[in-house]
Amino acid sequence: MACYSGFLMGKEVASRMLPRGRGTILFTGATASVRGSAGFAAFASAKFGLRALSQSMARELGPRGLHVAHLIVDGAIDTPWIHENFPEAKAKLAQQGWSIDG
């Protein structure tokens, strides 16, 4: 879903920016987009696909005035799945929230 939704969004946004000849499209990814890990095959392949999509769009749309970039933003998202599978992440999530908020 990550790659397909990125494709659909990128296509729609680019179609609105191209007539103006300028614009920026940012895709957020994770370290998994450049390095897989055990137990994360589906996640890593989706994130790698999104990175490849952004690189291809950058090469295609850059000459037409659109800037496309892939940004790596690592960190757990506070969900029940994270709490069940990575109990040590709860303290890190709290610290990240503190750093962002204040």
Q: Find the mean pLDDT for residues 79-87.
A: 80
Q: Which long-range contacts link 16-20 to residues 24+ away (Cβ below 8 Å)?
A: 17/65, 17/66, 18/61, 18/64, 18/65, 18/66, 20/65
Is the pLDDT at 97 greater than 70? The verdict is no
Question: Is the model's pLDDT at 26 over the cut of 80?
Answer: yes
- Predicted TM-score (pTM) of the model is 0.73
Which one is predicted more confidently, 26 or 81?
Answer: 26
Residue 59 has pLDDT above 80, yes or no: yes
pLDDT at position 13 over 90: yes
In three-state secondary structure terms, 65 is: coil
Please name the amino acid found at residue 68: V
Q: What is the mean pLDDT of residues 43-52?
A: 92
